[in-house]
């Protein structure tokens, strides 16, 4: 028996990997997916999303997969990033999480009450990150967080806040707190 550990891909990882690969080989598909987050044009992506088993009648499911597919198609990435979403948002600003604009965006995301609102708030944030941060963030992780957001939004919000605010933490901050 072999000791090689084979990790099964999650649905999110399989979806992201496949969309990245398909967008590289099919510019028409990439174009349709870019519009997936536009309510007037999202129907153009339904054939693709339904092919992945996404229930188009279930708005939260459709929105989260459409958001991630659109992000991948827009960024023209061919490799999954390792950066968390919160860190990517902080990195989009020269001052990081100390930027008032960055804090305002994070607070707005943390104030979301449901997945539909979160997807609407995330859309411009993702575009901002893609325009300012050279390394891609981890789309699979964000997609998984959006799936969990429906059932445990407080935990996901805490993860985003931790990823965002811990970027600026250093040893001097600890000394300031203890004195």
Contact 49, 65 (CB under 8 A): yes
Tell me the pLDDT tens digit for each residue of 56-114. Answer: 999 999 999 999 999 999 998 888 999 999 999 999 999 999 999 999 999 999 999 99
Tell me the pLDDT tens digit for each residue of 35-63. Answer: 898 889 999 999 999 999 999 999 999 99
Q: Any idea where the domains of the chain sit in the sequence?
A: 11-178
Q: What's the predicted TM-score (pTM) here?
A: 0.87
- State the CATH class of domain 11-178: mainly alpha
3-class SS string, the chain: CCCCCCCCCCHHHHHHHHHHHHHHHCHHHHHHHHHHHCCCCHHHHHHHHHHCCCCCCCHHHHHHHHHHHHHHHHHCCCCCCCECHHHHHHHCCCCHHHCHHHHHHHHHHHCCCCHHHHHHHHHHHHHHHHHHCCCCECHHHHHHHHHHHHHHHHHHHHHHHHHHHHHHCCHHHHHHHHC
Return d(Cα 116, Cα 122) in angstroms, integer.
10
């Amino acid at each position: 028996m072999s000791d090689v550990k084979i990790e099964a891909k999650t649905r999110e990882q399989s979806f992201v990997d496949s969309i990245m690969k398909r967008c590289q080989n099919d510019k028409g598909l990439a174009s349709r997916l870019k519009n997936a987050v536009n309510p007037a044009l999202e129907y153009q992506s339904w054939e693709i999303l339904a092919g992945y088993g996404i229930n188009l009648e279930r708005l939260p499911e459709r929105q989260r997969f459409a958001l991630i597919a659109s992000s991948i198609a827009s960024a023209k990435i061919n490799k999954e990033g390792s950066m968390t979403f919160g860190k990517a948002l902080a990195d989009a600003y020269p001052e990081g999480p100390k930027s008032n604009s960055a804090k305002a965006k994070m607070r707005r995301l943390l104030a979301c009450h449901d997945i539909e609102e979160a997807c609407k708030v995330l859309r411009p944030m993702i575009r901002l990150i893609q325009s300012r941060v050279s390394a891609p963030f981890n789309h699979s992780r964000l997609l998984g967080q959006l799936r969990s957001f429906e059932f445990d939004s407080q935990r996901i919000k805490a993860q985003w806040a931790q990823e965002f605010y811990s970027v600026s933490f250093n040893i001097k901050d600890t000394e300031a707190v203890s004195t």
